[in-house]
Copies of this chain bind each other. A is one copy, B any other.
Amino acid sequence: MRAKVVNADRAGESATRDLLLRTASDIMTEQQSVDVSFREISERSGLNAALIKYYFGSKSGMMIALVVKIIGGSIARLDELLALDIPADRKIRIHIKAIVNTYFNYPFVNRLLHRVGRIENDRFGEELARVIVTPIYEAERRLLAQGVNQKLFRNVNPMFFYFHVTGACDAMFHSRCALQRTFKTSRITKKMKTEYADEISEIILHGITLKS
């Protein structure tokens, strides 16, 4: 009986935690801002604000948990992508599309990443690197090596590749000012994000192709 009670408690805890994160995510999407207060989350979810502190320790802890919830699944699937029996250039296209899709579906996620990455707290920086940055970089490093082995790619610096790809994917979603004023575009449509992912994939892949 005891194990069952513990499991039920855990399920309850997990549902509460999920509700808090989903509420934070909803508010961030609506307000187009990651500056969400405990009070707003509490009012919207009907849960006590103290629970946020209980589950996540702090607002930064909640932000990290939200980033992991959103990107964690895609990162877990990177191993499957690496193992696929298809050419490395197709894998990189899939990878770039996945990053752009994440930014499209969660318009606040890059601001969240930048915010958490800026926090002067060793523990959060360490966690962000461990669960997000390092796994993405490691997967890209191996994808590039696969492409070199398959005589598709020339040798490129994988750290530079990481910054190039993540920076390019991020930029359109991060530059609301440029988008609105210079390009007179009030929102990024599905067509636009698909074309953007295709175009940067095309340029980057042609750019690293082994010259014959």
Q: Mark A residues whose CB is within 8 Å of B.
A: 114, 116-118, 125-126, 128-130, 133-134, 137, 156-157, 159-160, 162-164, 166-172, 174-178, 180-183, 195-196, 199-200, 202-209
Contacts and interface: CB of A to CB of B under 8 A. Distances in A.
B172 A167 contact: yes
A157 B199 contact: yes
B196 A126 contact: no
A172 B162 CA distance: 9
B182 A171 contact: no
Contacts of A130: 181
Contacts of A181: 125-126, 128-130, 133-134
Contacts of A159: 183
Contacts of A174: 114, 167
A170 B129 CA distance: 19
Interface SS, A side? helix
24 contacts: A116-B177, A117-B176, A117-B177, A118-B176, A129-B177, A133-B175, A133-B181, A137-B182, A156-B199, A157-B199, A160-B172, A160-B196, A160-B199, A163-B168, A164-B171, A166-B175, A167-B168, A167-B170, A167-B174, A170-B171, A204-B207, A206-B208, A206-B209, A207-B207
Name the 8 nearest CB pairs between A and B, nearest first: A167-B171, A129-B181, A203-B207, A117-B177, A207-B207, A167-B167, A163-B171, A163-B172
A130 to B, nearest CB: 8
A142 to B, nearest CB: 15
A21 B200 CA distance: 37
Contact of A129 (B171, B178, B199, B208): B178
A196 B133 contact: no
A145 to B, nearest CB: 17
Contacts of A200: 160, 164
Contacts of A162: 178
Contacts of A160: 172, 195-196, 199-200
